[in-house]
Structure 1
């Protein structure tokens, strides 16, 4: 019985995860947002589903919006999962030879 409860818990928490792909007509790369978690939603943002944006994970940012801009992707994030509605804006750019760059407060 204990085995079934553990197995059911694993599958139910796994099934709550979601993935969203953001494309932009100005860029030849896309962003993939994976959301999951039990107590708090954890967002993992990656470029083309391969290069994870570590700065957003380390800052425990909740991604609220992703907007396509000519200069890159604008990311609006907050700590709403911790009852802090203050939003912060980031600009994410990527070049295959140079990697990605994320700037806050843009």
Structure 2
């Protein structure tokens, strides 16, 4: 059983059911903590629709939480969620603003992780 993440008629990530459920739960929790919407809405088919603008705002705030200088525990807790979110954000054709010194490391992390996220 899968848990697809969709943008319009495109499947961005055909996650396993448990992986998808966990990601959505973590994203909703982080969005509540950050006081923004996650941009993820459950679909009747058992997956999630991605609202590009809301999701982009969420990922930008999540990135800001995970930057050097922030609390190390919060940064590390958010890192996996951030990388997964950045892959999805790339797949909807959107970007966030990142510091130049973070660009290479995030690009490498996204590339590694994207290979595990079937679409």
Q: TM-score, normalised by structure 1?
A: 0.26
Q: TM-score, normalised by structure 2?
A: 0.24
Greater strand share, 1 or 2? Answer: 1
Q: Which has the higher contact order (CA 8 A, sep 6+)?
A: 2
Greater helix share, 1 or 2? Answer: 2
Bigger radius of gyration: 1
